[in-house]
Amino acid sequence: MPDLIIKSMIVLFGCLIGSFLNVCIYRMPRSGKVTLDEFLKISGSKEHADKLWEDLINSGYIDEDGYVEKKFKKLRKKAEVAKFELTGSYEKSKKQVFKILDESCELSIDKPRRSFCPNCHKQVLWYDNVPLLSYLSLGGKCRFCKKPIPFRYFFVEFITASLLLVLYSFFGLSVQFFTYGVLTCALIVSTFVDFDFYIIPDEITLGGLVVGIILSLIFPQLHNVSTWSASLVQCLLGIFAGGGSIYLIGRFGEIIFKKESMGGGDVKFLAMIGSVLGWQMALLIFFLAPFFGAAVGIFAKLTKGAEIIPYGPYLSLATFLVILWGHNMLKFLFYF
């Protein structure tokens, strides 16, 4: 098949996949479970978020693990929520809190089937759902309520197609291309979810871990070995190196700064990445990501006084660079 046709197909499918990733980014953090991190953003401090969390459990809206209780919906319908008084400074954010709970119990990846406008909740018409083009033809606004559609929707479709094209130019149509393509999709979803909610969904980290192990068993060439058993060893070493390095630095940070500095999501995330890329690359990512994270972290602290920054985006950026140039980086490091 001529190269140009393959590239066009990759762009076409890349846009469609990107469109699906947009759905994942919106729905994954809002499906059935809430996390403390989501409330951190609203309440501003760990203490307030902890108190809010306790209130929600005591009111019977969520269980200890953050699953939204079924009866929450019933209470919501009966408007009994008025009984639930949020204490102190977050009384004003009550609406936001219930919005998170509401959306959590109503969404999953395949429900509702059709996309909807997050603002007016009207269904998106099929001809307004064409990747890239619809956004441009609608001028970035909802057809009904005219509220701007976040540029992100366009950007995610664009970046998905672009990154898949880059992977193709590096790896051709190979096992590597497909595997790294899937991994890149996971990176994109994690990045945007982490920006919004300071979490990385378990569907991505734990689900991806299972996929990583299976792919390692089927395709030993991913780890540059020839048998499935050797591949499994590399895969497991990757999981431990990736997860272990973040876990240890997190514990270290806790001791130094006396507060949680690395989320469990990051541990699972780099473990998942390690399962596909092996221990050398996992460690390389571990050492590379802080350079991006620190630059942005200092900027966020200076401009917005932000105390916490999501770390997933920088792990993702480092991972993509390592997929492309990791072997060259290692060669370069060991040359000296």
Residue 149 in contact with Zn ion, rule: CB under 5 A = no
| Residue 119 engages Zn ion in binding (rule: CB under 5 A) | yes
Q: Which stretch binds Zn ion (CB under 5 A): 72-80, 145-153, 272-280, 301-309?
A: 145-153
Does 142 contact Zn ion by CB under 5 A?
Answer: yes
**Among 73-81, 137-145, 164-172, 271-279, the segment contacting Zn ion (CB under 5 A):** 137-145
Q: Which stretch binds Zn ion (CB under 5 A): 50-58, 99-107, 119-127, 171-179?
A: 119-127
CB-CB contact of 96 with 42 (8 Å): yes
Q: Does 49 bind Zn ion (CB under 5 A)?
A: no
On whether the CB atoms of residues 278 and 238 are closer than 8 A, the answer is yes
Rounded least distance, CB 154 to Zn ion, Å: 16
Q: How far is the CB of 104 from Zn ion (least distance, A)?
A: 21
Interface with Zn ion by CB under 5 A: which range of 69-77, 144-152, 308-316, 326-334?
A: 144-152
145 near Zn ion (CB under 5 A): yes
Minimum CB separation of residue 149 from Zn ion in Å reads 8
- Could you give the CA distance from residue 259 to residue 262 in angstroms, rounded to a whole number? 9
124 or 132: CB nearest Zn ion:
124
Cβ at position 146, least distance to Zn ion in Å: 7
Instruction: Kindly state whether residue 117 participates in binding Zn ion, applying the rule CB under 5 A.
Output: yes
Who's near 228: CB < 8 A, 6+ residues apart? 216, 217, 218, 220
b or e along 293-330 (b: 16 or more beta carbons within 10 Å of the residue's beta carbon)?
beebbeeeeeeeeeebbbbbbbbbbbbbbbbbebeebe
CB of 148 to Zn ion, least distance (A): 10
Beta bridge partners of 62: 68
Q: Which stretch binds Zn ion (CB under 5 A): 101-109, 143-151, 184-192, 256-264?
A: 143-151
What b-and-e string marks burial along 152-183, b requiring 16 or more CB atoms within 10 Å of the CB?
Answer: ebbebbbbbbebbebbbeebeeeebbebbbbb
Within 10 angstroms of residue 15's Cβ, the number of other Cβ atoms is 20
For residue 150, the minimal CB distance to Zn ion (Å) is: 12
Where does this chain bind Zn ion (CB under 5 A)?
117, 119-120, 142, 144-145
